Amino acid sequence: MTIFLVRHTRTSCKPGICYGHSDVGLPASFCMDRGKVADELGDRSFDTIYSSPSSRCRLLAAFLAGGQNVIHDDRLMELNFGRWEMKSWDSIAASPEGNTWFADYLQVRCPGGESYMDLIQRVEHFMEDHIIGAKGDILIVSHAGTIRALLILLNNENPRDVFCRPVDTGCVLRLQNSFR
């Protein structure tokens, strides 16, 4: 089995804005951006396609699927940043709650949201239901935090190391293993 992890393309959010669970718009460049992702995937077909229900993932997944069924799963959503959604990262980092979260984002929940371990557990439940024991090639269109959680779970990587790894918009990661 091969799993292809694709992060959504650029959004219309200004740089430096925290937009985890928020359903943000896509810029005019979306058609060009989605074409680059499709080019990187090539003519590959997938046995199953999963997507976060966020429009930035859902629209990309629909394009990449080319008419094939896409399964939307809430567990593939980005980290829920709670009251920090649509706030600037600078203002979050300057707040006492932000300092506490950045010191231990694995365990500390965002105000009204999740910790990174909450996200990992949510993604683990998705994997148990859909990935473990699956056969064939799988495409998952999701978010940077979710992709990092999948790397932790599928590759047994260290959460702190993976959290620092860049996962650029429109990137395609290929994982090949049995995942059983």
Taking only the tens of pLDDT, the chain with its 180 residues reads: 899 999 999 999 999 999 999 999 999 999 999 999 999 999 999 999 999 999 999 999 999 999 999 999 999 999 999 999 999 999 999 999 999 999 999 999 999 999 999 999 999 999 999 998 888 999 999 999 999 999 999 988 888 889 888 999 999 999 986 554
Q: Six-digit token pair at 5?
A: 């992890």
Which pLDDT does position 68 carry in this prediction?
Answer: 95
pTM of the shown model: 0.95
Please tell me the predicted confidence (pLDDT) of residue 179. 54
- CA separation (Å) from 43 to 37, 46, 65, 156, 171? 11, 10, 11, 30, 17
Q: What is the pLDDT of residue 164?
A: 83
What's the rounded Cα separation, in Å, for the pair 106 and 119? 9
The reported pLDDT for the residue numbered 156 is 87
Residue 46's contacts (CB-CB under 8 Å, 6 or more residues apart) are: 4, 65, 68, 136, 137, 138, 139
Residue 80 and residue 145 in contact, taking contact as beta carbons nearer than 8 Å: no
Task: Give the domain range for residue 144.
Answer: 2-176
Number of domains in the chain: 1
> What CATH number does the domain containing 119 carry?
3.40.50.1240
